Amino acid sequence: MKPSVGIRDVAHHAGVSNATVSNVLNRPDVVAPATRQRVLAAIEELGFVRNESARQLRAGRSRVIAYVVLDAANPFFTDVARGAEDAAREAGFALFLCNSASDAGREHEYLELLHEQRVEGILVTPVDGESAQIAERGTPVVLVDRESTDGTHCSVAVDDVLGGELAVTHLIENGHTRIAMVGGPLSIQQVRDRYEGAMRALTNAGLPQDALTLLETRGLQVAEGRGAGERLIGLPSSRRPTAAFCANDLLALGLLQSMTQQGLKVPDDLAVVGYDDIEFAAAAAVPLTSVRQPRDQLGRTAASLLLAENEPDHEHRHVKFQPELVVRASSAAKR
Protein backbone atom coordinates (compact mmCIF):
# COMPACT_ATOMS: atom_id res chain seq x y z
CA MET A 1 0.00 0.00 0.00
CA LYS A 2 1.43 3.36 -1.03
CA PRO A 3 2.04 5.65 1.99
CA SER A 4 0.00 8.83 2.07
CA VAL A 5 1.64 12.10 1.16
CA GLY A 6 1.37 14.93 3.68
CA ILE A 7 1.92 18.67 3.71
CA ARG A 8 5.42 18.13 5.12
CA ASP A 9 6.36 15.99 2.09
CA VAL A 10 5.07 18.64 -0.31
CA ALA A 11 6.96 21.37 1.54
CA HIS A 12 10.23 19.39 1.44
CA HIS A 13 9.81 18.58 -2.27
CA ALA A 14 9.07 22.23 -3.16
CA GLY A 15 11.72 23.66 -0.83
CA VAL A 16 9.28 25.79 1.16
CA SER A 17 7.83 25.81 4.67
CA ASN A 18 4.76 23.89 5.81
CA ALA A 19 3.02 27.25 6.33
CA THR A 20 3.60 28.18 2.69
CA VAL A 21 1.98 24.94 1.50
CA SER A 22 -0.97 25.62 3.83
CA ASN A 23 -1.33 29.11 2.39
CA VAL A 24 -1.32 27.76 -1.17
CA LEU A 25 -4.13 25.40 -0.21
CA ASN A 26 -6.20 27.87 1.77
CA ARG A 27 -5.10 31.42 0.89
CA PRO A 28 -3.30 31.23 -2.47
CA ASP A 29 -3.58 34.99 -3.01
CA VAL A 30 -0.99 35.67 -0.27
CA VAL A 31 1.70 33.50 -1.95
CA ALA A 32 3.97 34.81 -4.69
CA PRO A 33 2.98 33.38 -8.11
CA ALA A 34 6.32 31.63 -8.71
CA THR A 35 6.27 29.98 -5.27
CA ARG A 36 2.63 29.02 -5.67
CA GLN A 37 3.35 27.32 -8.99
CA ARG A 38 6.29 25.42 -7.44
CA VAL A 39 4.08 24.13 -4.64
CA LEU A 40 1.30 23.16 -7.04
CA ALA A 41 3.81 21.29 -9.18
CA ALA A 42 5.00 19.37 -6.10
CA ILE A 43 1.39 18.55 -5.19
CA GLU A 44 0.84 17.16 -8.70
CA GLU A 45 4.10 15.18 -8.77
CA LEU A 46 3.60 13.60 -5.35
CA GLY A 47 -0.14 12.96 -5.77
CA PHE A 48 -1.00 14.87 -2.60
CA VAL A 49 -4.69 14.86 -1.60
CA ARG A 50 -5.70 17.24 1.15
CA ASN A 51 -7.50 15.87 4.22
CA GLU A 52 -10.70 17.81 3.73
CA SER A 53 -12.43 16.21 6.72
CA ALA A 54 -9.71 17.32 9.10
CA ARG A 55 -9.73 20.82 7.65
CA GLN A 56 -13.48 21.06 8.05
CA LEU A 57 -13.31 19.85 11.65
CA ARG A 58 -10.75 22.55 12.47
CA ALA A 59 -12.87 25.18 10.75
CA GLY A 60 -16.08 23.91 12.35
CA ARG A 61 -17.82 23.90 8.94
CA SER A 62 -18.41 21.40 6.18
CA ARG A 63 -18.76 21.78 2.43
CA VAL A 64 -21.32 19.00 2.41
CA ILE A 65 -25.10 18.96 2.75
CA ALA A 66 -27.25 15.83 2.72
CA TYR A 67 -30.71 14.88 1.55
CA VAL A 68 -32.54 12.03 3.29
CA VAL A 69 -35.13 10.99 0.70
CA LEU A 70 -38.28 9.03 1.42
CA ASP A 71 -37.84 6.58 -1.48
CA ALA A 72 -34.80 6.66 -3.77
CA ALA A 73 -36.57 4.27 -6.17
CA ASN A 74 -39.16 6.95 -6.92
CA PRO A 75 -38.00 9.21 -9.79
CA PHE A 76 -39.82 12.13 -8.16
CA PHE A 77 -37.29 12.22 -5.32
CA THR A 78 -34.26 11.77 -7.56
CA ASP A 79 -35.50 14.72 -9.65
CA VAL A 80 -35.86 16.82 -6.48
CA ALA A 81 -32.37 15.73 -5.41
CA ARG A 82 -30.96 16.78 -8.78
CA GLY A 83 -32.34 20.28 -8.29
CA ALA A 84 -30.86 20.43 -4.78
CA GLU A 85 -27.52 19.18 -6.09
CA ASP A 86 -27.39 21.85 -8.78
CA ALA A 87 -28.03 24.61 -6.23
CA ALA A 88 -25.46 23.11 -3.84
CA ARG A 89 -22.75 22.86 -6.51
CA GLU A 90 -23.32 26.44 -7.58
CA ALA A 91 -22.63 27.45 -3.96
CA GLY A 92 -19.52 25.25 -3.71
CA PHE A 93 -21.12 22.39 -1.76
CA ALA A 94 -21.51 18.69 -2.42
CA LEU A 95 -24.79 16.84 -1.84
CA PHE A 96 -24.89 13.40 -0.20
CA LEU A 97 -28.02 11.31 -0.79
CA CYS A 98 -29.43 8.97 1.86
CA ASN A 99 -32.49 6.73 1.42
CA SER A 100 -34.77 6.20 4.40
CA ALA A 101 -36.94 3.82 2.31
CA SER A 102 -39.96 5.06 4.32
CA ASP A 103 -38.45 3.44 7.43
CA ALA A 104 -38.47 5.72 10.51
CA GLY A 105 -35.68 3.74 12.19
CA ARG A 106 -33.44 3.98 9.15
CA GLU A 107 -34.19 7.69 8.89
CA HIS A 108 -33.17 8.16 12.53
CA GLU A 109 -29.86 6.35 11.93
CA TYR A 110 -29.02 8.54 8.94
CA LEU A 111 -29.90 11.77 10.74
CA GLU A 112 -27.74 10.81 13.72
CA LEU A 113 -24.82 9.86 11.45
CA LEU A 114 -25.08 13.08 9.46
CA HIS A 115 -25.08 15.13 12.65
CA GLU A 116 -21.95 13.29 13.85
CA GLN A 117 -20.29 14.01 10.51
CA ARG A 118 -21.00 17.71 11.02
CA VAL A 119 -22.56 18.26 7.63
CA GLU A 120 -23.50 21.85 6.90
CA GLY A 121 -27.18 20.99 6.86
CA ILE A 122 -29.78 18.33 6.16
CA LEU A 123 -32.67 18.22 3.73
CA VAL A 124 -35.23 15.58 4.66
CA THR A 125 -38.55 14.31 3.41
CA PRO A 126 -39.61 12.79 6.74
CA VAL A 127 -41.36 9.48 7.16
CA ASP A 128 -43.84 11.17 9.48
CA GLY A 129 -44.52 14.70 10.65
CA GLU A 130 -42.36 14.56 13.77
CA SER A 131 -39.36 12.48 12.76
CA ALA A 132 -37.27 15.38 11.48
CA GLN A 133 -37.22 16.85 15.02
CA ILE A 134 -34.48 14.41 16.09
CA ALA A 135 -31.95 16.34 14.04
CA GLU A 136 -32.56 19.49 16.08
CA ARG A 137 -29.06 19.41 17.61
CA GLY A 138 -27.42 22.38 16.00
CA THR A 139 -27.51 21.03 12.45
CA PRO A 140 -29.85 23.06 10.23
CA VAL A 141 -32.76 21.07 8.79
CA VAL A 142 -35.12 21.92 5.93
CA LEU A 143 -38.22 19.84 5.28
CA VAL A 144 -38.76 18.89 1.64
CA ASP A 145 -42.17 18.05 0.17
CA ARG A 146 -43.58 18.48 3.66
CA GLU A 147 -44.90 21.62 5.30
CA SER A 148 -43.49 22.57 8.70
CA THR A 149 -46.49 22.70 11.02
CA ASP A 150 -44.77 24.21 14.06
CA GLY A 151 -42.50 26.71 12.30
CA THR A 152 -39.26 25.29 13.74
CA HIS A 153 -37.80 24.53 10.30
CA CYS A 154 -37.78 26.02 6.84
CA SER A 155 -39.87 23.96 4.47
CA VAL A 156 -40.76 23.60 0.82
CA ALA A 157 -43.91 21.82 -0.27
CA VAL A 158 -46.61 21.63 -2.91
CA ASP A 159 -50.29 22.26 -2.23
CA ASP A 160 -51.28 18.59 -2.40
CA VAL A 161 -54.87 19.27 -1.36
CA LEU A 162 -55.24 21.46 -4.44
CA GLY A 163 -53.48 18.80 -6.51
CA GLY A 164 -55.99 16.13 -5.50
CA GLU A 165 -58.83 18.52 -6.17
CA LEU A 166 -57.50 19.33 -9.67
CA ALA A 167 -57.21 15.65 -10.56
CA VAL A 168 -60.69 14.58 -9.47
CA THR A 169 -62.38 17.74 -10.76
CA HIS A 170 -60.91 16.92 -14.17
CA LEU A 171 -62.39 13.41 -14.04
CA ILE A 172 -65.79 14.71 -12.92
CA GLU A 173 -65.82 17.28 -15.73
CA ASN A 174 -65.18 14.42 -18.15
CA GLY A 175 -68.39 12.73 -17.00
CA HIS A 176 -67.15 10.29 -14.35
CA THR A 177 -69.28 9.87 -11.23
CA ARG A 178 -67.68 6.67 -9.87
CA ILE A 179 -64.02 7.32 -9.15
CA ALA A 180 -61.32 5.31 -7.36
CA MET A 181 -58.56 6.87 -5.26
CA VAL A 182 -55.49 4.61 -5.33
CA GLY A 183 -52.82 5.37 -2.75
CA GLY A 184 -51.42 4.72 0.67
CA PRO A 185 -50.75 4.22 3.34
CA LEU A 186 -52.82 7.15 4.61
CA SER A 187 -50.19 7.67 7.32
CA ILE A 188 -48.18 9.50 4.62
CA GLN A 189 -49.15 13.17 4.80
CA GLN A 190 -48.96 13.73 1.06
CA VAL A 191 -51.39 10.87 0.43
CA ARG A 192 -53.81 12.19 3.07
CA ASP A 193 -53.70 15.67 1.54
CA ARG A 194 -54.37 14.35 -1.97
CA TYR A 195 -57.26 12.28 -0.65
CA GLU A 196 -58.67 15.37 1.09
CA GLY A 197 -58.47 17.28 -2.19
CA ALA A 198 -60.27 14.47 -4.00
CA MET A 199 -63.10 14.57 -1.47
CA ARG A 200 -63.29 18.35 -1.79
CA ALA A 201 -63.77 17.99 -5.55
CA LEU A 202 -66.77 15.70 -4.93
CA THR A 203 -68.32 18.23 -2.55
CA ASN A 204 -67.79 21.08 -4.99
CA ALA A 205 -69.50 19.04 -7.73
CA GLY A 206 -72.44 18.09 -5.52
CA LEU A 207 -71.57 14.39 -5.62
CA PRO A 208 -71.98 12.09 -2.59
CA GLN A 209 -68.87 11.07 -0.67
CA ASP A 210 -69.34 7.43 -1.67
CA ALA A 211 -68.76 8.43 -5.29
CA LEU A 212 -65.07 7.97 -4.37
CA THR A 213 -63.84 4.45 -3.63
CA LEU A 214 -60.59 4.36 -1.66
CA LEU A 215 -58.23 1.56 -2.69
CA GLU A 216 -55.56 1.99 -0.04
CA THR A 217 -52.11 0.57 -0.83
CA ARG A 218 -49.22 -0.45 1.40
CA GLY A 219 -46.81 1.76 -0.52
CA LEU A 220 -46.41 3.93 -3.59
CA GLN A 221 -44.67 1.48 -5.92
CA VAL A 222 -45.62 0.10 -9.35
CA ALA A 223 -46.41 -3.35 -7.91
CA GLU A 224 -48.94 -1.79 -5.53
CA GLY A 225 -50.61 -0.12 -8.49
CA ARG A 226 -50.91 -3.47 -10.26
CA GLY A 227 -52.45 -4.98 -7.14
CA ALA A 228 -54.93 -2.11 -6.85
CA GLY A 229 -55.91 -2.74 -10.48
CA GLU A 230 -56.74 -6.35 -9.70
CA ARG A 231 -58.87 -5.26 -6.74
CA LEU A 232 -60.65 -2.65 -8.86
CA ILE A 233 -61.50 -5.17 -11.58
CA GLY A 234 -62.87 -7.51 -8.91
CA LEU A 235 -65.49 -4.98 -7.79
CA PRO A 236 -69.12 -5.57 -8.88
CA SER A 237 -69.79 -3.92 -12.23
CA SER A 238 -72.64 -1.89 -10.73
CA ARG A 239 -70.24 0.05 -8.50
CA ARG A 240 -66.93 -0.37 -10.29
CA PRO A 241 -65.24 3.02 -10.86
CA THR A 242 -64.88 4.27 -14.41
CA ALA A 243 -61.90 6.45 -13.46
CA ALA A 244 -59.01 6.35 -11.02
CA PHE A 245 -56.89 9.02 -9.39
CA CYS A 246 -53.54 7.62 -8.21
CA ALA A 247 -51.50 9.23 -5.44
CA ASN A 248 -48.38 9.08 -7.60
CA ASP A 249 -47.31 8.15 -11.12
CA LEU A 250 -45.71 4.84 -10.14
CA LEU A 251 -49.09 3.61 -8.88
CA ALA A 252 -50.72 4.89 -12.05
CA LEU A 253 -48.20 3.08 -14.26
CA GLY A 254 -48.84 -0.14 -12.33
CA LEU A 255 -52.58 0.37 -12.76
CA LEU A 256 -52.11 0.88 -16.50
CA GLN A 257 -50.15 -2.39 -16.66
CA SER A 258 -52.91 -4.22 -14.81
CA MET A 259 -55.56 -2.91 -17.18
CA THR A 260 -53.53 -4.06 -20.20
CA GLN A 261 -52.98 -7.52 -18.71
CA GLN A 262 -56.73 -7.87 -18.13
CA GLY A 263 -57.53 -6.83 -21.71
CA LEU A 264 -59.14 -3.54 -20.66
CA LYS A 265 -58.56 -0.24 -22.41
CA VAL A 266 -57.45 3.09 -20.98
CA PRO A 267 -59.28 5.45 -21.07
CA ASP A 268 -62.31 3.67 -22.61
CA ASP A 269 -62.78 1.21 -19.72
CA LEU A 270 -60.94 3.22 -17.09
CA ALA A 271 -59.63 6.79 -17.17
CA VAL A 272 -56.45 7.26 -15.13
CA VAL A 273 -54.78 10.31 -13.57
CA GLY A 274 -51.43 10.15 -11.77
CA TYR A 275 -49.45 12.57 -9.64
CA ASP A 276 -45.90 14.03 -9.92
CA ASP A 277 -45.58 14.01 -13.74
CA ILE A 278 -42.31 12.10 -13.71
CA GLU A 279 -40.52 11.63 -17.04
CA PHE A 280 -42.06 8.18 -17.58
CA ALA A 281 -45.60 9.61 -17.43
CA ALA A 282 -45.51 11.07 -20.93
CA ALA A 283 -43.68 8.01 -22.28
CA ALA A 284 -46.20 5.42 -21.03
CA ALA A 285 -47.98 3.16 -23.55
CA VAL A 286 -50.98 5.40 -22.95
CA PRO A 287 -49.53 8.83 -22.13
CA LEU A 288 -50.52 9.56 -18.56
CA THR A 289 -52.47 12.57 -17.36
CA SER A 290 -50.74 13.73 -14.20
CA VAL A 291 -50.58 16.49 -11.62
CA ARG A 292 -47.20 18.11 -12.13
CA GLN A 293 -45.03 19.14 -9.20
CA PRO A 294 -42.12 21.56 -9.84
CA ARG A 295 -39.51 18.96 -8.82
CA ASP A 296 -36.40 20.92 -9.79
CA GLN A 297 -37.69 24.06 -8.07
CA LEU A 298 -38.48 22.10 -4.91
CA GLY A 299 -34.91 20.86 -4.70
CA ARG A 300 -33.26 24.14 -5.62
CA THR A 301 -35.37 26.15 -3.21
CA ALA A 302 -34.82 23.69 -0.37
CA ALA A 303 -31.04 23.77 -0.83
CA SER A 304 -31.00 27.57 -1.02
CA LEU A 305 -33.02 27.84 2.22
CA LEU A 306 -30.65 25.40 3.92
CA LEU A 307 -27.51 27.27 2.87
CA ALA A 308 -29.04 30.50 4.18
CA GLU A 309 -29.63 29.02 7.66
CA ASN A 310 -26.34 30.36 9.05
CA GLU A 311 -26.95 33.94 8.00
CA PRO A 312 -27.22 36.25 11.06
CA ASP A 313 -30.67 37.59 10.20
CA HIS A 314 -32.10 34.25 9.05
CA GLU A 315 -35.80 33.65 9.58
CA HIS A 316 -37.54 30.38 8.79
CA ARG A 317 -39.47 30.45 5.53
CA HIS A 318 -42.20 28.15 4.30
CA VAL A 319 -42.51 28.00 0.52
CA LYS A 320 -45.56 26.33 -1.01
CA PHE A 321 -45.71 25.73 -4.76
CA GLN A 322 -48.87 25.30 -6.82
CA PRO A 323 -49.41 22.05 -8.77
CA GLU A 324 -50.50 21.94 -12.39
CA LEU A 325 -52.69 19.39 -14.17
CA VAL A 326 -51.12 18.05 -17.38
CA VAL A 327 -53.80 16.36 -19.50
CA ARG A 328 -52.84 13.46 -21.77
CA ALA A 329 -54.54 10.49 -23.41
CA SER A 330 -55.16 8.39 -20.27
CA SER A 331 -58.11 10.56 -19.20
CA ALA A 332 -59.88 11.40 -22.46
CA ALA A 333 -63.48 12.56 -22.11
CA LYS A 334 -65.94 9.78 -21.24
CA ARG A 335 -68.18 8.88 -24.15
pLDDT in tens, 24-36: 887 788 889 999 9
Amino acid, single-letter form, for residue 276: D
Torsion angle of alpha carbons 206, 211, 217, 222, nearest 10°? -90
Q: Is 300 exposed, middle or buried (0-12, 13-18, 19+ CB in 10 A)?
A: buried
The predicted pLDDT at position 128 comes to 79
Mean pLDDT of the chain: 90
The predicted pLDDT at position 327 comes to 97
The predicted pLDDT at position 57 comes to 46
DSSP H helices, 134-248, are: 160-173, 189-205, 222-233
Regarding pTM above 0.85, the answer is no
Percent of the chain with pLDDT over 90: 67
Residue 273: name the closest of 223, 308, 324, 234 by CA. Answer: 324
Asked if residues 95 and 80 have their Cβ atoms less than 8 Å apart, the reply is no
Confidence at 2, pLDDT banded by 50, 70, 90:
low
Asked if residues 314 and 308 have their Cβ atoms less than 8 Å apart, the reply is yes
CA gap 115, 259 in Å, rounded: 46
- Helix%, strand%, coil% for the chain, nearest 5: 45, 15, 35
